Structure 1
Amino acid sequence: MPPSRASAIQEQSISSTGSPPGSSSSSGRQTASCSHTQNGASSHVADKMKAPSSPGRPVVRKTAAIPSEPVKRPHAEGDDNAAALSRKSMKGAIPKDGPSTSNVNGTSAPIASPSKSLFRLPADQPAAQVISASDVSATQECGRIIHADLTKYPTYERAAHHAHECSSACLFKESHRGLMEYAKVVHSPLVIPLLFGWTRTTIKARRSKNDIREDRINYKMVYYSPCGVLIRSEAKLSDYLVTVKSILSMTLFSFRSDVDITRKFVVTKSMVKKYREDIADKQLLPAKIPLINCFSDKLPDTFNYSKKCVKSEAVVKLMERLSITERSQGCDCQGVCGPGCFCISLVEDDYGYKSSRLPERSLYIVECNDHCKCGPNCGNRVTTSTVQFPVLLYYYPTKGWGVRALCDIPIGTFMGFYLGKIITDQEISENNDKYLVALDYEKTVDRSHVTNPDGSISTTAAAPIADEENMCNIDGRQFGNVSRFFNHSCDPNLFAQNIHREMFSSRVYHIGFFTKKDVKAGDELCWDYAYTPHSIDGRQIKCMCGAANCRKFML
């Protein structure tokens, strides 16, 4: 019998830092645990189930109007001082050439290792207590939300503002080495600017003259720069970072008051049955992706963690036959790209990155690449210049492995690519159609643009339309990354976006995941697999996501 629907789990939602006075500090929030399983399946839960087996290979194509999401195929079964930082201490982390203001608490306090700070024990639960697997129900929440004390970090008091012309002299001493060292110890990338002299706070927002309400006070999230300049908007922040030549990217800032930079998700250590420090085997340093199983000693199926896609021999031959080559043409922009950028001009719609984030799906994205002259902090290099937000691989007894956020993540944040081995349709069989995502966007690339054999992009030739015979897929079964564990939801907090960077082709491209709403610490990261329910005779997958708009069946 299939596992029963998991009951809702009551979590506590705590108001974000800098929230308006008088707001509730905590409120009850129902978070439904979801599962996905096939009818008639055994009670044994595979580490990743999305479809029942079939004697023939499944074919599920997305035919909805563009823009649409990729189709998930059903399957068969800093500076020198910053360098002194350690994972256990931040002694000596304050650069000598930084602002003259002192630390908030006057000292440089030690910080716990991120891997250790993942675990916290409730005050009423002694560390020696042993909880057996039989004592943990399938719907029990093994983690909780706590708030980090920012005074433990070497942050600074807000600098007094004096009339001046901003330049690179306004900056706290920055270096890429220091940035990476800080990224190792903070619980959220949004804390990093505070370690370089920035201040994030709320102020009373300007009210309209026609607003006569007296019972409501509006507050707005703002930043103060290291030189004391008040920055109220993303546009002004972008201009400031360019003016002072800062190495900090826009993705390290958020003006959204609902995003609490102190909130973090931790797991009770005594409840952990299986733990791995990093499923990526240190390939993503300074980031790590821990694995936790509070219900058994089960581990995910073995796979090779990869930072990029690999191509099968059949795909290489297909690309040669169709003259699909890497781009050799880039933009001539200096510093950051803007209107007139060659790469941005290839996108025909009004969508695209906004302040280095993607708040809604675009027809397609053409990112700057190694042939472009713009700098590393260009707003059109989001997937290569982003400090990753921390996530956790977490085991759910009802649906296998899933991915949870360890801190608050703003809307539009890049969370990673779907990676694996790119294969052709002819290479799919019932034995390897697991973790497949179809590259079947026939309309993603405008027909007036095509990559020529020499790598340049033509705006006059007509691009051939992808057909069934030449379709490709990303197989994340043997090679992949954490995105292979993103589960399905009918009310997802992620969306999939096709991105063209090295190549400009409707057959081979990247699929990236972005947050479509603000994600709270502890939330599971999910996307819509875009199956069409009852589209394949004899095959049915019951959806157990528990969302209010659940379609009841995935397939």
Structure 2
Amino acid sequence: KLVQMVCKPSSQAMTQPNPNMTEDELKVGMNILGKKRTKTWHRGTLVAINPVGNGVFKYKVKFDKGKSLLSGNHVAFDYNPTLESLYVGARVVARYKDGNLVWLYAGIVAEMPNNKNRMRFLIFFDDGYASYVTLPELYPVCRPLKRTWEDIEDASCRDFIEEYITAYPSRPMVLLKVGQIIKTEWEGTWWKSKVEEVDGSLVKILFLDDKRSEWIYRGSTRLEPMFNLKMTTANAQEKKLAGQQRTRPNMGALRSKGPVVQYTSDCHVGASPVKSPQAPPTQPSPSPQHQQPQQPQQPQQPQQPHGRILSPPNTPTSLFTQQFQRQLPSLPPGPPAITHAMASIPHQPSYRAPTDRIFYLVHTCQPACLNRVRPAIPDMHRGKNPLLTPLLYDFRRMTGRRKVNRKMSFHVIYKAPCGLCLRNMAEIQHYLFQTRCDFIFLEMFCLDPYVLVDRPFQPQRPFYYIPDITSGKEDIPLSCVNEIDSTAPPQVAYSKERIPEGGVSINTSADFLVGCDCTDGCRDKSKCSCHQLTLQATGCTPGGQINSSAGYLHKRLEECLPTGIYECNKRCKCCAQMCTNRLVQHGLQVRLQLFKTQNKGWGIRCLDDVAKGSFVCIYAGKILTDDFADKEGLEMGDEYFANLDHIESVENFKEGYESEAHSQSPSSSGDSNDDEDKDSKSEEESDSSDDTFVKENYYSSSSVWRSYTTRGQVKGNKEGELLSNQTSRLWAERLSKDLRGLYRKFQDCVSLTVSGLSGVTKKQVAVKSTRGIALKTRGDNTPSKNTRLFFDGEESCYIIDAKLEGNLGRYLNHSCSPNLFVQNVFVDTHDLRFPWVAFFASKRIRAGTELTWDYNYEVGSVEGKVLLCCCGSTECRGRLL
């Protein structure tokens, strides 16, 4: 369910002093700390208190050498404060360790002790450093200013602290893991660096060029993902002025694995959840999440106090309710439901492997090898687990193990009915063509030993059950269960195909398609015209290099291809069943189920194990023009809208180019926890001159983005000489008016989008990754080229709306660690504006697991709207908008 968290009372309470605490008294003769001109604090004795009017006093402090007349905010008590007197934003003096030296510097409390930071205080020092300290290392400032940040002399640091305290407890920080590669700013230049250690909100960065180490606050804009987030916020302001704000999922290439910005919040302390209305949704929600229409005859179930967070509604309830009720009568009646009292889910008999052995006799395989198992009806096993189908035709799937270099590994081989052993996918493919097998297909075989073909998921006596919500429109039945309550799914006109609405013209004529003349099942990519379209399109990526391995590999897609996949079509002369370049057009193959989640409404889960790279389903619905979508979104809600932004994705991919984005080394994808990556080698740290640093002309160390001149820092210092392991340099700048103006000046040259993850990434993930500082200083305002303008001057992409009519893709929920990725596929037209939106498995998925994908929203793209994410992932970014 969608809930809204109100954090303001909690935020104010956590950043204000305790009203029950009284100020300690200052007395002549007591020992105190005073601030000298060197910005360091020293011990002294209070010798006089001089009033200056309006209740303000000056304090005369005698040091070992000399005397000073100081304000109340420049003297501190020479004893440790109580925990009750401290709060986020409290003004303190803290010990700063620089090698063997210990100094006293002023700062503010940025974090209170908790389990995550091992019961320490995070201090932001006035000169831009950050450090974790303990209570015995703190001294309270005697008479701090009410707005504590006004005591900071450095303007950029002061602005950062003000923004930090104002936004607290919402704190965007880069989610990092040891070993990840990330770009870090130093002396006005972006340097390739590596994460050595993470300590709470601090990260130890190793600069690969000169092997320096430095501790940095994870919310610093010196880290490229944070910098990109700042630039995205500025970009959102421009979009708002231009009226181009959208809160729809982007159906282009997904974001990369790698460093992402995570929003941490302590809202649960003193916060109260404001539940979404139980009536039909009144707000265009940006997530394709089910909003159930009101049903007076059934009691409403209470909303869960956790889940996705939605901003307040802005659409009149009555208007949406009238529109929704006006649409409902046109919907066809849903399939009959079976309640818990009527019947239970039919039990699927488990597969029993034959016990007899198959012996191989030397022969040349031919169609006769499968004569004894060749069925009279090719689809006799349709509706069962596709990975189990070969076994039902007397193929044997055997798992073996072997020990190499003292490491045990498992492997799978298939044995054909004629006794031939098939050891890899190439041999399986060759065998299927040799025997002219037109009833078992390549995607039904899986050599992953961790994918079990006979592990079906069986729900336990649900309160609500529908055998097939598609009423036979899908080739595979899509069942529906509710194990939470007896609530029925929403009324939706099911359609497995896209439906063009008014103003949308999709030319599907064969005369406008490129076809192939293949007779070998399109196995030779060099001779297949459709394969060549896929390969040649990869040349549109930065660098213009053609990826000769792009496209399907044995009917599976290992990773997203930003430039799209061109499948064989009705103009092609290849066999539709045997072609290796036809997959998405065959429709739903895996067994899925619509189910009621605990706190996210309705979702989709798989009933069998799904192999990595397998095609799952498409996202279908009405195709709307952008103008009509805006109008319908205001009236009906836009929670099921998705952009057909293939053109924009590829263009942003090219504009956001970085030299290392093409790296295909294991380090390019960050850290992966997949089982299949356990044997991968460690990351290589070899650098080229292009990868090491990128220097921008307009960006210098003297700008507002400069690195602070701070104590004890010498360029080139070794790791042990630079900082202790608890000290960081805080890059505390905020976007200045000058930079915003510079950004507006060059926005026509560079498209800035959110990049929660930059750095060294695989090819497909740079689509939404743009380094914000990649702005040129040349005065020529070269207009950006927009491919969409060639289509009769169109300026906006088309929209898929699956609210009242669509397929199962509308129920797929969001996750920051998804198990599906989006791929644009061209099937019935080669018009770049109208690809099919397909979902593929990004990892192996166990039976019963919910299927999710990354909605790919741009955080900060809608000013004033905050959509928190509660997907529950260990890599949750905390926010969607």
Is contact 1:158-1:198 (8 Å) kept?
no
**1:549 Cα shift?**
1.0
| Superposition pairs of residues 34-183 of structure 1, within 5 angstroms | 40-42=274-276, 44=278, 48=290, 52=311, 55=314, 116-117=346-347, 149-151=350-352, 155=354, 157-173=356-372, 178-183=377-382
Matches within 5 A, 1:370-409: 370-375=570-575, 376-385=577-586, 388-409=589-610
**Aligned-residue offset at 1:382:** 0.8
Is contact 2:4–2:273 with CA below 8 Å preserved after alignment?
A: no
User: How many angstroms apart in 2 are the aligned matches of 1:426 and 1:355?
Assistant: 41
Amino acid at match of 2:382: A
Gaps of 5+ in 1: 5-37, 57-75, 77-112, 119-147, 447-461
State the partner residue of 1:308: 497
**1:436 counterpart (621, 625, 641):** 641
Amino acid at match of 1:264: P
Q: 1:223 aligns to what SS in structure 2?
A: strand
The alpha-carbon distance between structure 1 residues 333 and 539, as it changes in their structure 2 partners (threshold 3 A), is same
Q: 1:385 to 1:508 in 2, by over 3 A?
A: closer
Q: Name the SS of the counterpart of 2:555 in structure 1.
A: coil
Aligned residue runs from structure 1 range 304-343, under 5 A? 304-316=493-505, 327-337=512-522, 338-339=524-525, 340-343=527-530
Q: Is the 8 A contact 1:324 1:505 kept in 2?
A: no
For the 8 Å contact 2:457–2:607, the answer to whether it is kept is: yes
| Residues 4 and 274, structure 2, Cα contact 8 Å, conserved in 1 | no
Q: Distance in 1 between matches of 2:874 and 2:290?
A: 23
Match of 2:465 in 1: 275
Report what 1:190 is aligned to.
Answer: 387
| CA apart distance, 1:52 | 4.7
1:418 alignment partner AA: Y
Q: Residue type matched to 1:194 in 2? A: L
Letter in 2 for 1:417: I
Distance in 2 between residues matched to 1:406 and 1:3, nearest whole Å: 33
Distance 2:344 2:521 in 1: 33
Match for 2:828 among 502, 513, 526? 502
How far apart, CA to CA, are the structure 1 residues paired with 2:493 and 2:799? 18
1:445: how far off?
Answer: 7.4
Deviation at 1:39, TM superposition (A): 7.3
Equivalent residues in 2 for 1:524-543, closer than 5 Å: 524-543=850-869
Give the drift of 1:173.
4.2
Q: 1:540 to 1:445 in 2, by over 3 A?
A: closer
TM-score if structure 1 supplies the norm length?
0.67
Distance 1:231 1:183 in 2: 24
Distance 1:238 1:172 in 2: 18
| Match of residue 810 from structure 2 | 484
Deviation at 1:329, TM superposition (A): 3.1
1:227 maps to which of 414, 418, 423: 418
CA deviation after TM superposition for structure 1 residue 158, in Å: 4.0
Over 3 Å counting, the alpha-carbon distance change for 1:425 and 1:549 in structure 2 is: same
Deviations 1:153-197 (A, max 9, x none): 7x574421011111001114455764422224x3x2111111212
Q: Secondary structure of the equivalent of 1:513?
A: strand
- For residue 296 of structure 1, report the CA deviation from its aligned partner: 2.0
What is the TM-score when the length of structure 2 is the normalising length? 0.43
- C-alpha distance 279-427 of structure 1, shift in aligned 2 (>3 A): same
Q: Which residue of 2 aligns with 1:64?
A: none
Q: Which moved more, 1:513-522 or 1:377-386?
A: 377-386
Asked if 1:426 is matched to 2:627, the reply is yes
Aligned-residue offset at 1:387: 6.3
Deviations 1:329-360 (A, max 9, x none): 31100140022200010123332111001111
Partners of 1:254 and 1:222 in 2: how far apart? Answer: 9
- Structure 2 residue matching 1:545: 3-state secondary structure: coil
Q: 1:479 to 1:553 in 2, by over 3 A?
A: same
Supply the distance in 2 between the matched residues of 1:470 and 1:2 (Cα, whole angstroms): 31
Whether the 8 Å contact between 2:866 and 2:879 is mirrored in structure 1 is yes
Distance 1:517 1:159 in 2: 33
Sort the Cα spacing of 1:175 and 1:422 in 2 relative to 1 into closer, same or farther, 3 A: farther
Per-residue CA distance 1:123-168 (angstroms, 9 max, x = gap): xxxxxxxxxxxxxxxxxxxxxxxxx7421x7x57442101111100
Q: C-alpha displacement at 1:303, in angstroms?
A: 1.2
1:368 alignment partner in structure 2: 568
| Separation of aligned partners in 2, 1:277 and 1:221 | 34
Checking the alignment, whether the CA contact within 8 Å between 2:390 and 2:445 is kept in structure 1 is yes
Equivalent residue runs for 1:444-523 within 5 Å: 469-523=795-849
Question: How far, CA to CA, are the matches of 1:547 and 1:445 in structure 2?
Answer: 29
Pick the aligned partner of 1:290 from 469, 473, 479: 479
More helix per residue: 2
Moved more, 295-304 or 422-431: 295-304
Q: Distance in 1 between matches of 2:417 and 2:796?
A: 54
CA–CA distance in 2 between the matches of 1:44 and 1:357?
42
Partner Cα distance (1:274, 1:547) in 2? 28
Paired AA for residue 361 in structure 2: H
**Contact 2:514-2:530 within 8 A present in 1 as well:** no
Q: What is the distance in 2 between the residues matched to 1:504 and 1:516?
A: 26
Corresponding position: 1:199 with 2:396: yes
- The C-alpha deviation readout for 1:34-63, integer Å capped at 9, x for no partner, is xxxx9744374977157556659xxxxxxx
RMSD: 3.2
State the alpha-carbon separation in 1 of the partners of residues 586 and 357 from structure 2. 27
Question: Residue 223 of structure 1 contacts residue 231 of structure 1 at CA under 8 Å; is this kept in 2?
Answer: yes
Residues 2-37 of structure 1: CA deviation (Å, up to 9, x unaligned): 389xxxxxxxxxxxxxxxxxxxxxxxxxxxxxxxxx
Q: Tell me by how many angstroms 1:420 deviates.
A: 0.3
Counterpart CA distance in 2 for 1:406 and 1:2 is 29
Residue identity matched to 2:473: Q
Alpha-carbon separation, structure 1, partners of 2:830 and 2:649: 10
Q: Is 1:256 aligned with 2:453?
A: no
Query: Once the 2 structures are TM-superposed, how far is the Cα of residue 301 of structure 1 from its aligned partner?
Result: 2.1
Q: State the aligned residue count.
A: 408
Counterpart-to-counterpart distance in 1, 2:424 and 2:789: 43
Q: In 1, Cα distance between the equivalents of 2:502 and 2:491?
A: 23
Distance across 2 between alignment mates of 1:203 and 1:241: 23
Provide the C-alpha distance between the structure 1 equivalents of 2:463 and 2:862, rounded to a whole number of angstroms. Answer: 39
SS of the residue 1:346 aligns to:
helix
Q: CA deviation at 1:223?
A: 0.4
Q: In structure 1, how many angstroms separate the alpha carbons of the residues matched to 2:598 and 2:635? A: 25
Q: Tell me if the contact between 1:174 and 1:246 (Cα under 8 Å) persists in the aligned partners.
A: no
Q: Indicate the percent of aligned positions where both proteins have the same amino acid.
A: 29
Q: For the Cα contact (< 8 Å) 1:276–1:292, is it kept in 2?
A: yes
SS at match of 2:795: helix
Q: 2 CA distance for matches of 1:332 and 1:39?
A: 61
Tell me: CA distance 1:381–1:477, structure 2 relative to 1, closer, same or farther (3 Å).
same
> Rg: which structure is higher?
2
